[in-house]
Chain A
Amino acid sequence: MLAESLALSAALFAIGVIGVLTRRNAIILFMCIELMLNAVNLSLVALSKVYGASGEVFVLFVITVAAAEAAVGLAIVISIFRHRQSVNLDDINLLKG
């Protein structure tokens, strides 16, 4: 099942990348990043079945970082929405230069 899991992981990661490139909504962008993290988690779990428990521990760390990222990122989205009344990334161009 290792090869199938790695192939599914690659496909899910590619779908996440496509989502990041094609969507404008900041919240959906965050969710695409979560999808990519999940794809990586799947490959870590599949490899840990062969190479020992370290992979599962790294999955725990990835989930921790994802939770922290979601909390801070959504707080940033809410505070941007208060200023601009929009979460469209094309409206957020202050740092574009």
Chain B
Amino acid sequence: MNNEFFPLFFSFHFYLFAVIALVSAILFVTRKSPVAAALWLVNVMFCLAALYVMLDAQFIGAIQILVYAGAIMVVFLFVVMLLNLGKPEDVSDIRGNLPRVTAGFVGAALLAEVMVLARAKWSAQLTLPVASGEAMRNEPGGIIAPIAEVLLRDQLLAFELASILLLVAIVGAVTLGRKRS
């Protein structure tokens, strides 16, 4: 997404999707009903896909919608509806005050850490070498070519291991889900 021509348009939509994602995430954590929580999480994932497209990662945005919002969340919804946990009024699964306070402290600590890191001055050894993603995208081959190059050449072993991992996960899920006679 080129933000040189319409900078205001770009930043307005960037902040819009960011705010929707944040609000949806908060609603996701606070909903009692698992179905409502899952649907708010789907909303977060759609907003993140939009942000990926705005950050020049169109391929990842498409994968996000296909795999996360399309496949993984459908599995979650399927399990929630299969188990039929009853009405949300009957079962409140939100913990008591002590875990809430602990969670608040952990969240504040994480945010404080990020603020400190954002203001820290890094020494020259810690900064990564800049390979200039912008220049890479102007090469012939478009958006997919640099990803494919890294995926199928530099990270080939990890790519093959990921396929084995998926196979093992499928076999494991079938074995665990089977009814014992």
Seen from chain A, the residues whose Cβ lies within 8 Å of a Cβ on chain B are 1, 3-8, 10-19, 21-25, 27-28, 30-32, 34-35, 38, 41-42, 45-46, 48-54, 56-57, 59-61, 63-72, 74-79, 81-82, 87-88
Contact = CB atoms under 8 A, between A and B. Distances in A.
Given A19-B29, A31-B28, A35-B28, A53 B110 contact: no
A60 B151 CA distance: 9
B72 A12 contact: no
B162 A61 contact: yes
A57 B155 contact: yes
A18 B133 contact: no
Interface string B19-60: 001100110110000100110010011001001101111011
Q: How many interface residues does chain B have, given as a range? A: 35 or more
Interface string B120-163: 00000000111111101000000000110111001100100010
Contacts of B104: 18
Contacts of B16: none
Given A51-B128, A51-B131, A53-B150, 8 more contacts: A5-B51, A5-B55, A14-B106, A17-B106, A21-B106, A28-B93, A38-B48, A65-B165
Contact of B26 (A15, A17, A46, A69): A15
Contacts of B110: 10, 13-14, 17
Nearest to A15: B25
A53 B18 contact: no
Given A67-B67, A74-B76, A17 B107 contact: yes
A84 B104 CA distance: 31
29 contacts: A1-B14, A1-B55, A8-B51, A11-B22, A14-B110, A14-B111, A16-B25, A16-B29, A17-B107, A21-B95, A22-B99, A22-B100, A27-B83, A28-B34, A30-B76, A31-B28, A48-B133, A52-B133, A53-B133, A54-B154, A56-B57, A67-B72, A69-B169, A70-B72, A76-B176, A78-B176, A81-B83, A82-B179, A87-B83
